[in-house]
Structure 1
Amino acid sequence: MVHYICETCGVQYERTNEVPSYCVICTEERQYVSSMGQSWTTLSQMVESGIYKNSINLEEEGLHSINTTPSFGIGQTAYLVQDKGYNVLWDCITFLDPHTIEKIKELGGIDAIALSHPHYYSSQVEWAEAFNAPIYIHEDDKEWVTRQSDNIIFWSGESLELQEGIVLHRLGGHYKGATILEWQNGHAQKGILLTGDIVRVVADRQWVSFMYSYANFIPLPSSTVERILNDIRNIEFSRLYDAFHRIIKEEAKQRVIESGERYIKALDGTLFNT
């Protein structure tokens, strides 16, 4: 029996003899099944192929990005936040090999893994077992976990402090339990927000957007975006990193608020007349 991985979203499943008949993540309206059909692989097949490798790059003091090349699944970026001897892996990627484990151990390992939403659960249990780390997932997204583990901690409420200065906030929107990470000491104590694609930086790096489904272009209602903005107004940060290595380097909080206000005007029909 093996842990199969959906090649479209990169999420790993419970151990089975036969490939799953479908991916519960991809057949849901926020994601999609590849036009080439459902396909599966395993982590051992990925490693043995020699095709994939992870790049671990220093973004700024205390923050490394982790990317797989060539891109696999959704193609998101994971981040390693380092603060006062405490290392948090924010979001996850599927590919994990001995070289990656060695390099991350050289950086102090991983003390906790925190996830923004189900699209990035990937092979989170493999990562947790490799580094003996707990996985923090909001309980509102419990139903989407495709591989169970004693390492998973389902937290509740609107926020959770993992370590002094590192706080998870449930924003909802993209998923009911959609979460962002506030790193208060990041960017020289000005604050960094890591958002997955709960808040996603768009092509114009001075703006962000909020969607129920990015793949299928399903927007969120204006009332939900207004609630998200109210939560973000209570968080202090000046820089923002999203799931696809897009960065708002300065005045990120103001840019998010202005983006949300623009989004609401567009949905309410007051931004433009076409």
Structure 2
Amino acid sequence: MLICATCAVERDEPLPELCPICADERQYVPEDGQRWLTMDELTRTGRHTVLEQNEPGLIGISTEPKAGIGQTAQLVLTPEGSLLWDPVGYIDDQTVESVLDHGPVLAIAASHPHMFGVQVEWSHRLGHVPVLVADADRQWLGRTDPCITFWSGTKAITEGLVLYQTGGHFPGSAVAHWAAGAAGKGVLLSGDSVFPNPDRRTVAFMRSYPNRLPLSGAVALGIAARLDELEFDRIYGNFNNVIPSGARGVVRESAQRHAAWTRGDFDHLT
């Protein structure tokens, strides 16, 4: 198993010339070319993981220095066990021990293929727990393994913790809805289809962030309508970017604003 230096997604050998995820229009291959790394190489650079409690029952897991895209994984704790969401592209024994100190892991899932990280490696180290992959995005898997389970539409992890397929950034893009989060008001863990902006008052709907390619207004409105069926007050994005409160309304209003701009309603401002 090798890891793409740019996106930190694991891949079986034989390796392609370029990482398919990075060669796609949503990502990029760096100017200095494709590089593949081993986990040992990542370790020798002094990488380590940092666990930080975002709120009761939710722990952010990041890597310093970052591995690949540098997402923050989220460990959602429930009485039955935990969900590891958007797994990072690095893992070591200390991190495994820290995760398991919080109880058994029920499943691993990613919001979209850019966030696959070393998900199979995480599974193996955590007891061969299921890795849930949206069936619509199975073509982007770089590593196959019996631990992988495909799903579509919705997938319950345990009571009060459910995955919902929204599409958008990728056809299989998903969110995790945690009903007990935000003191019982509900938390949404999102990826690039619904991305909390730096103003903490709006979200973005993009096909590509690095290459500045938006989704259509119709798609943004469709995602918002799907999520409006859920109860949630807070959103955590895949870089620990947060909409701290009123998030359900933020998604609805942001989608309307996005659609208005793509229709040309505000062309007089340009």
What TM-score, normalized to structure 1?
Answer: 0.95
In the alignment, structure 1 residue 136 sits paired with structure 2 residue 126: no
Gaps of 5+ in 2: none
Q: Secondary structure at the match of 1:227?
A: helix
Query: Retained in 1: the 8 A contact 2:135–2:172?
Result: yes
SS at match of 1:180: strand
User: How far apart, CA to CA, are the structure 2 residues paired with 1:230 and 1:29?
Assistant: 27
Give me the CA root mean square deviation. 1.1
CA offset at residue 122 of structure 1? 1.3
Instruction: Please give the alpha-carbon distance, in whole angstroms, between the structure 2 residues aligned to 1:57 and 1:193.
Output: 18
Structure 1 position 22 matched with structure 2 position 18: yes
The residue matched to 1:25 in structure 2 has which SS? helix
Q: Does 1:95 align with 2:87?
A: no
2:62 is the alignment partner of 1:64: no
Read off the aligned partner of 1:95 and give its amino acid letter: Y
- Shifted more, 223-232 versus 138-147: the winner is 223-232
Answer yes or no: is the 8 Å Cα contact 2:173–2:191 preserved in 1.
no
Q: Which residue of the partner structure matches residue 241 of structure 1?
A: 236
Match of 1:201 in 2: 196
Q: Distance in 1 between matches of 2:257 and 2:59?
A: 32
Aligned length: 268
Matched residue, 2:147: 151
Q: How much does 1:15 deviate? A: 3.5
Q: Deviations over 1:193-221 (max 9, x none)?
A: 00022210112111110001111111111
- Give me the identity figure in percent: 37
Confirm or deny that 1:5 pairs with 2:3.
yes
Residue 160 of structure 1 aligns with which residue? 155
Are 2:77 and 1:77 equivalent residues in the alignment? Answer: no
Determine which of 49, 53, 56 is the counterpart of 1:54.
49
Q: CA deviation at 1:78?
A: 0.3
Tell me the residue number matched to 1:175: 170
SS class of match (1:26):
helix
Deviation, structure 1 residue 50:
4.7
For residues 259 and 192 of structure 1, the distance between their equivalents in structure 2, rounded to whole angstroms, comes to: 18
Supply the distance in 2 between the matched residues of 1:113 and 1:254 (Cα, whole angstroms).
Answer: 28
SS of alignment partner, residue 61 of structure 2:
strand
Q: TM-score under structure 2 normalisation?
A: 0.96
Q: 1:66 offset after TM fit, Å?
A: 0.1
User: Partner amino acid for 1:174?
Assistant: H
Alpha-carbon separation, structure 2, partners of 1:253 and 1:199: 11
Q: Measure, in 1, the Cα distance between the counterparts of 2:234 and 2:208.
A: 24
